[in-house]
Each structure stands twice: as C-alpha cells, then as structure tokens.
Amino acid sequence: METDQAVRMLDMKMQAPFRILATKKLKQISVSDSLHNVMAKRQTYILKNINSKLEKENAMVAKADKGKMCVIMYTDEYNKKVHNFLNENNFQKPQKDPMDKHQKLITKTLQHSDLIINKKQKKYFTQKKPQPPDLRAQIKLHKPGQPIRPVVNNRNAPAYKISKLLVNKLNNLNLRNHYIVKDSTALANDLTKLK
C-alpha cells in the first residue's frame, strides 16, 4: 500500500517502471525471507537434537577461557571442577542470605543521594527482585588439569544498576593525577620519558 502511494506521487511517465522495480524488489525480499525461515527452522531442529543428545548423555557445553571455543564435557566433571575451585579458595556458604540486608542498605542510601540521582531515577536504580550473582566457569584448556576461570554475572545483584551509574559518573570526571596509570602501554611510555 505505502509503495503504491509513493509511486503515485511520481510523474505519470515514471510510475510504470518504478512499479515494476518495486514489485521485483518485494518478490526478492519475500523469497529471501522464506529461505531465511527455512534455514532458521533447520538450525533450530539441529540445536534441539544436539541438546537432547547432550541431556541424554548427562553432558553440557561450556565456554573455553581462551579463544572462541566451546568444550563439551560431562556435567558431573564440570560440577566437580567448580566445587574444587570453591573449596581450594576457601569459599564458605553464608549462614544467612544477605540479599535483603543489601537491598535495604542500597534503598536507604538512594534516599539520601539527591545530589547524584534525581527522584524519578531512584525507582529505576532499585533492583526489583534481587538475586545472588550467578557463577559460571570457563575451562582453561591451555593449563594442565584444565582448571576453571570463574565468571560472575552480577546483573540481578542488588547493587548492579547503581554501581553501573557510579562507574559512568566517575569515568566522566577528568581527574589529572600523576599517580594514575591507564594501562601497561601508558606506563611503558611514561617510563621511557623519564630517561
């Protein structure tokens, strides 16, 4: 409909060729969409098959630490590696869930932060349903024994939104401090200037 209206706005002599071009283009889009849908359905079918086979064998796909690789391993082995990491680094389960305490503390702090956050934004920066951070493990294939690198997802943690805001505000400050080094390259450049 919109294409036809646009064509009608053209000069009478130009309408017929543009109608033909528009029809061809719309057919191309329709054919490419149907091919894309067939490919998407095929890929979904293959992924479901792979997932069902992994579940049947009690296996899983984990991300490797270096490179863009995936590792297929037994779920029990993955869980054992995670538990070993937690035990070796003396992690302990808290006796009481700290989520409510942290949420109340953040809410109270937000109430007293009128200079940084306006009243309309305060509701947004309070996490509605806070949850403890998730721990995932990436397998270090390049190390003997293939230990894990822990990756913690804090998106649902009580302080996630407010900490993101504070990082942005602090990064925007232009602090000229001679004792701050941006990265190792900047440090190397500064050291060569000292000679």
- Please state whether the predicted TM-score (pTM) of the whole model is above 0.75: no
Question: How far does the chain reach from its first CA to its final CA, in angstroms?
Answer: 73
151 band by pLDDT with thresholds 50, 70 and 90: very high
34 band by pLDDT with thresholds 50, 70 and 90: low
Q: Which residue has the higher pLDDT, 159 or 15?
A: 159
Predicted confidence (pLDDT) at residue 115 exceeds the cutoff of 70: yes
Q: Give the whole-angstrom CA distance, residue 64 versus residue 20.
A: 52
Q: How far is CA 123 from the centre of its chain?
A: 23
